[in-house]
Chains A and B, each alone.
Chain A
Amino acid sequence: MKRTARRILLDLDGTRATATLYDEFAPKTCEAAWDILPVTGRAIHANWSGREIMLHLEGEKILRLPQEMKVRSNFVTEGDITYFYRASQMSRGKQLAYSAQFQRELSEFAIFYGSPAGEGLSAYDPARTPYKEGVHVLNKFATIDRPIPEEFRLKCETLRHEGLKPLTVSRY
């Protein structure tokens, strides 16, 4: 897959990694994501899909994008960054760990920093398949540049034990 040189910077509580956009693979998602940068928020660790941290988009940064690619099993792997959207009527019970916005509608960047990536319950979750526009959308739009900095991986891992940490995604 040919990639352009557009890159983004992930700054998680002072620890950084860069990523390259999949402009040819997901042009609409890349353009939309690029347009709202920089985005700052407090990242939280996933509890359904392995080594993943999530940055929920809120307010004017919320993206409601179309499904741009076919999602297959083993769709994500270590280093992938995806855009995920879930409509409010598809909420999965009480989500007290997240913000009020999350209760209504979920629009997020998901950063898969290590292995297993996307291998948990979410991979077998019938509520998430098939992906339908306006209901569930999952687009892979970037990958963390290799090698993924070990310091960045470890910082992501600390969210599991220490809670939310500030994350800024910006143009690089």
Chain B
Amino acid sequence: MLVTKLKLKLGGAEAVVELAERDAPKTSKLLLSLLPVEERARHAMESGREVYIVLGESVDIPEENQTIYQTVGDVLMYYKPSLFIEPGWPEYANEKPVLSWVYERDTAIMGTYSPLATNVVGKIAGGLNKLQAEAPRMRREGFGMMKLSRL
């Protein structure tokens, strides 16, 4: 099976993502339908070394290829509690769909009170070291845009 490759860009760093179409076909199809996607990147404040973007409210992520044991380089799609995204808890939506990736160990995606199962939709196959430098730099100097597109 030919692996679909995507380009992940965070600020000045570029990486290659291999889509997990065999293990997560529905989520992969959904992600491809959203591309290219570009939003302001955010850093997790509850889960460790995770960078993410918030997707549109209408994005409907199926439960597929899930784990609570995320590892370095995983590309994830799931619903993140709004409380971790913006202050307060918006009444109209207590969770929002996100696209994220894990760039270091000591990371576990958290729900409000426990680890959260997330869809693994891809793996960073090249350029991880660049993201591992750019994400901490942005933590210090401010976050820019993140873009995911077809390679």
Contacts of A157 in B (CB 8 A): 87
CB within 8 Å for A92 and B106 given contacts A47-B49, A157-B87, A163-B139: yes
Binds A, one of B39-47, B56-64, B119-127: B39-47
Which of these, A94, A116, A121, A154, contacts B83 with CB under 8 Å? A116
Q: Would you call the interface of chain A mostly helix, strand, loop, or mixed? A: mixed
B91 at the interface (CB under 8 A from A): no
Which of these, A51, A94, A154, contacts B45 with CB under 8 Å? A51
Identify which of residues 95-138 in chain A touch chain B, using a CB-to-CB cut-off of 8 Å.
95-97, 114-116, 119-121, 124, 127
Interface size class, chain A: 20 to 34
Q: Is the CB of B46 within 8 A of A121?
A: yes
B112 at the interface (CB under 8 A from A): yes
Q: Is the CB of A121 within 8 A of B105?
A: no
- Residues of chain B touching chain A, judged by Cβ–Cβ distance below 8 Å, are 40, 42-50, 83-84, 87, 104-108, 110, 112-115, 132-133, 135-143
In addition to A92-B105, A124-B114, A127-B106, 9 A-B residue pairs with Cβ atoms within 8 Å of each other are A47-B43, A49-B45, A50-B46, A92-B106, A96-B133, A96-B137, A115-B83, A116-B46, A120-B47
Give me the 3 closest cross-chain CB pairs, A-B, nearest first.
A120-B46, A97-B136, A96-B136
